[in-house]
Amino acid sequence: MKKKNDSEKLKETGWKRRDFLKATGASVLAGMGAIFAPGILKAAVQPRYFRDTLSLGQTLTTLPSWKPYPYKIIPIRVLEATVPKVLFTYLMNFGKLITISYGAFFISGVKGHNILVDSGPTKEDLASKGFSCTVIKPMKEALKDATGLSPEDIDILIFTHLHHDHTPLASIYKNAEVIVQKTEWNSMHNPPACYRGAYNPEYMMGVTPTFVHGDVFNLVPGVSLLYTPGHSIGDQSVVIDTREGRVIICGTCCLEENFTPPAEVKRFWPDVLVPWLIVDAEQAYESLAKIKREADYIITPHEKLHYDRGVCPSPEWPKLGTRVASFEMYRSDAPKSHYSSVD
């Protein structure tokens, strides 16, 4: 049999040699442009990268050492709803109903920045998914009452993930840099089939996000991002160093109970209990376990108690985390699902 040359092989894939050379040349020129003309990126229409750690959403080994900063986290409650508890506790609590809260979190005390975590929910969004809810205060009013600020005053908006109940008001923060994991952005536009209903890309129309890949240390001094996939493909948690210790706003939709599993399940899940709404159970377990190891205080997105207690840290907040001053390095957790980022 006649051996095919390179040109014939390229033709079989629909390419000709000159097309291949053109594509290669374009890649080289693009690379040179990124090196010699970084200002072009600022004018580009496509989202720009804030900073990279490892590629494709891999996490680094440990967070930076804790340092005391004058930061506090203010929970901002907008809605309440009654839901089955089993949504948050894997294969447990069938038939039980609980009241949960929907809202956002403001990081106060950051010099030169007004940082909000998640955009806040709307009654209309939850109604579109079949949920009946009670409005405590609309987001704009709740933000004003809690912080004295308006949406236009927020200059950094961090999304833990892009599920519909975390994103419906993204467009009102017109002056904010919107920070999201690239894998989560891709997932919103091409979600796992079983979770298509969890996203509404229309909420993010007109938003030009800043993409991050994996862990980001010191986004601003004392505030970091921890890549914690499992609940969603590109889930991230927000780490805030305070004078009283390290607070982590957990990106996974779960409860306080997930970090203190009951005795009857500890033989299977000794450290944490995964929620039921997950794309990858192993990732979710490892992510919650990592949060627990790294944190002193843990805030979850929907636990009613975590809004009732008010500002964190404070004496009302128990230490759910098990952070110690020094600990063994643990392995880097590369994403284990078959979904991956596409640049």
pLDDT tens, residue by residue, 69-97? 999 999 999 999 999 999 899 888 889 99
Which residue range(s) make up the domain with 30?
Answer: 1-39
Please report, as a single letter, which amino acid is at residue 55: S
Do 277 and 150 fall within a single domain?
Answer: yes
Do 227 and 145 fall within a single domain?
Answer: yes
Closest to 159 in 3D by CA, of 202, 110, 116: 116
Q: Could you tell me if residue 313 is inside a domain?
A: no
Do 16 and 157 fall within a single domain?
Answer: no
CA 307-104-184 angle, to 5 degrees, is: 130
CA distance linking residue 231 with residue 237, whole number of Å: 11
**Residue 245: other Cβ atoms inside 10 A:** 17
The greatest distance separating any two alpha carbons of the chain, rounded to the nearest whole angstrom, comes to 80
CA 298-146-288 angle, to 5 degrees, is: 15
Residues paired with 75 in a beta bridge: 105
Would you say 42 and 48 are in contact if contact means Cβ atoms under 8 Å apart?
yes
Do 195 and 294 fall within a single domain?
Answer: yes
Do 224 and 245 fall within a single domain?
Answer: yes
Strand order in the sheet with 236-242: 216-220, 223-227, 236-242, 245-249, 297-299
Q: What is the full per-residue pLDDT of the chain (343 aa) written as tens digits? A: 455 554 444 344 333 444 433 444 444 334 444 433 333 233 333 333 333 333 334 444 578 889 999 999 999 999 999 999 998 998 888 899 999 999 999 999 999 999 999 999 999 999 998 888 999 999 999 999 999 999 999 999 999 999 999 999 999 999 999 999 999 999 999 998 888 999 999 999 999 999 999 999 999 999 999 999 999 999 999 999 999 999 999 999 999 999 998 888 888 888 999 998 899 999 999 999 999 999 999 999 999 999 999 999 999 999 999 998 654 444 433 333 332 333 3
- Give the chain's domain count: 2
CA distance linking residue 227 with residue 185, whole number of Å: 14
**Residue 203: other Cβ atoms inside 10 A:** 20
Task: Quote the pTM value.
Answer: 0.78
pLDDT tens, residue by residue, 182-197? 999 999 999 988 889 9
267-297: b (≥16 Cβ within 10 Å) or e: eebebbbbbbbbbbeebbbbbbbbbbbbbbb
Would you say 91 and 81 are in contact if contact means Cβ atoms under 8 Å apart?
no
Do 24 and 139 fall within a single domain?
Answer: no
Do 16 and 152 fall within a single domain?
Answer: no
| 106 backbone dihedrals φ, ψ, rounded to 5° | -110, 135
Q: Could you tell me if residue 336 is inside a domain?
A: no
DSSP result, 11-79:
HHTT--HHHHHHHHHHHHHHHHHHHH-THHHHH-SSPEEEEESSGGG---S-PPPP---S-EEEEEEEE
Q: Could you tell me if residue 321 is inside a domain?
A: no
Q: Could you tell me if residue 315 is inside a domain?
A: no
Please report, as a single letter, which amino acid is at residue 42: K
Q: Could you tell me if residue 319 is inside a domain?
A: no
Do 66 and 178 fall within a single domain?
Answer: yes
